[in-house]
Amino acid sequence: MSSQPREYDAVLGSNNTATPTDAVLGGIEGVKRRLATGDIKSRIIALSQALNYGEAGLDVVIQALQDPSKQIQWSAYGLLARKTETKVEQALQSFSLISEAGIDYRSLQYILASQKLKKADEKTRKLVLQAANRSDKWLRKEEIQSLACEDLFIIDRLWTIYTQGRFGFSVQKRIWESLGSEKSDTGRGKEFSHRVGWHEQQTETDTYYDILKLDTIKRREDIPCGLNAPEGNLPSICEFGGGELLSWYDPPDTESTMGFYWTGGYRNKWSHDSFFGADMVACFLKRIQACPEIP
């Protein structure tokens, strides 16, 4: 057997392109060496190289599910997710999808693996509310800001792995950052929403004058929940917010932080924990942006 490496063999001694001075060890042993000693980027590359070496390489990737690095674990998971070998399925079944908060994401994994994206979107909403310890049907600003990065990370990895990298929080984060920071959060939230296939819906109030309208952002119903949807379209975080409509003619009180004044009192007076629209979208994206675990 030739001692020269093949095109997918690991090169030792350098993380760059091979040079005449590099120490070379071809085959699966070279991949193992790089996986053990390289930086994160090099180790992730080595994992994908391992699959070129048949059963021995597959065993290396399965073993990487137990790596101390979460990034390596999930890189291995992503490489194995589409494989059907019995030992791969057994390894994935034993891979923990329970966060430190005790939330089990295996149900989301199953739905995404079945490519039922609309159902996965609905399940994601429920899991995010659970992660926020929120019993109501929407998130308040303070709860979005305190969401655990680990829970957001697990949701993101499952979405990106099972949608070929089209959907997930990391995809949305990349789009959000591409918009720059010159605009206000509200302006960026609106621009982001249009980019990914969400839009503002103006809901008319049930009043005599019928002139007061509340802008909300919803996922466009004409876009199917499938891989052909715009990149970043799912999960539909635009619908994580919400609120409670109080009596439209009550006098102002301490909870009337939102609403529209009309002769005689407040109409569309929302409870103090209402949070939706472009501001809510921006708040959630900024929370994602603040999580270093999400690439």
Residue 132 has pLDDT above 90, yes or no: yes
DSSP code, position 265: E
Q: Which of 47, 65, 95 is the last residue of a domain?
A: 95
Residue 125 has a pLDDT of 95
In a domain? residue 191: yes
Q: Any idea which residue has 């149900």 for tokens?
A: 107
In a domain? residue 285: yes
Residue 261 has a pLDDT of 43
Contact 30, 12 (CB under 8 A): yes
User: For residue 235, is the peptide bond before it cis, meaning its omega torsion is within 30 degrees of 0?
Assistant: yes
Pair (115, 73) in one structural domain: no
Pair (198, 216) in one structural domain: yes
Q: Distance of alpha carbon 81 from its chain centroid, rounded? A: 17
Confidence of residue 2 (pLDDT cuts 50, 70, 90): very low
Residue 271 has a pLDDT of 67
Pair (161, 31) in one structural domain: no
Work out the average pLDDT over 21-43: 76
Residue 23 has pLDDT above 60, yes or no: no
pLDDT in tens, 194-230: 999 998 865 555 443 333 345 678 899 899 999 999 9
Comparing CA positions, the residue from 240, 265, 270 lying closest to residue 251 is 265
Q: Return phi, psi of residue 77, to 5°.
A: -60, -45
Query: Can you tell me the distance from the alpha carbon of 242 to that of 22, in angstroms, rounded to the nearest whole number?
Result: 59
Q: Return phi, psi of residue 104, to 5°.
A: -95, 120
How many domains would you assign to the chain?
2
Note the residue count of the chain: 295
Contact 130, 148 (CB under 8 A): no
Pair (88, 116) in one structural domain: no
β-pair type (198-204, 258-262): unpaired
Pair (149, 286) in one structural domain: yes
pTM of the predicted structure, to 2 decimals:
0.81
Work out the average pLDDT over 149-159: 98
pLDDT, greater one: 177 or 135: 177
In a domain? residue 192: yes
Angle of helix 149-162 relative to helix 169-178, nearest 10 degrees, comes to: 100
In a domain? residue 290: yes
Pair (30, 149) in one structural domain: no
Contact 21, 8 (CB under 8 A): no
User: In sequence order, what are the beta bridge partners of 245?
Assistant: 270
Pair (146, 198) in one structural domain: yes
Comparing CA positions, the residue from 185, 158, 156 lying closest to residue 291 is 156
Comparing CA positions, the residue from 12, 59, 17 lying closest to residue 36 is 12
Q: Which of 76, 95, 114 is the last residue of a domain?
A: 95
β-pair type (265-270, 198-204): unpaired
Pair (59, 110) in one structural domain: no
In a domain? residue 172: yes
Pair (112, 224) in one structural domain: yes
Token pair of 122, please?
A: 């609905």
Residue 253 has pLDDT above 80, yes or no: no
Pair (106, 228) in one structural domain: yes
Q: Which of 36, 62, 95 is the last residue of a domain?
A: 95
Confidence of residue 245 (pLDDT cuts 50, 70, 90): low
The three-point CA angle 290-283-257 to 5° equals 140
Share in percent of the chain as helix, strand, coil (round to 5)? 45, 10, 45
In a domain? residue 247: no
- Which range of residues forms the domain containing residue 31? 1-95
Pair (124, 68) in one structural domain: no
Pair (134, 9) in one structural domain: no
Comparing CA positions, the residue from 130, 78, 73 lying closest to residue 104 is 130
List all residues 6 or more positions away from 33 whose beta carbon is below 8 Å from its beta carbon.
Answer: 10, 12, 25
In a domain? residue 230: yes
Contact 168, 288 (CB under 8 A): no
Contact 99, 150 (CB under 8 A): yes
Contact 270, 245 (CB under 8 A): yes
Residue 10 has pLDDT above 50, yes or no: no
In a domain? residue 132: yes
Least confident piece of the model among 25-39, 52-66, 150-164, 253-267:
253-267
Residue 242 has a pLDDT of 80
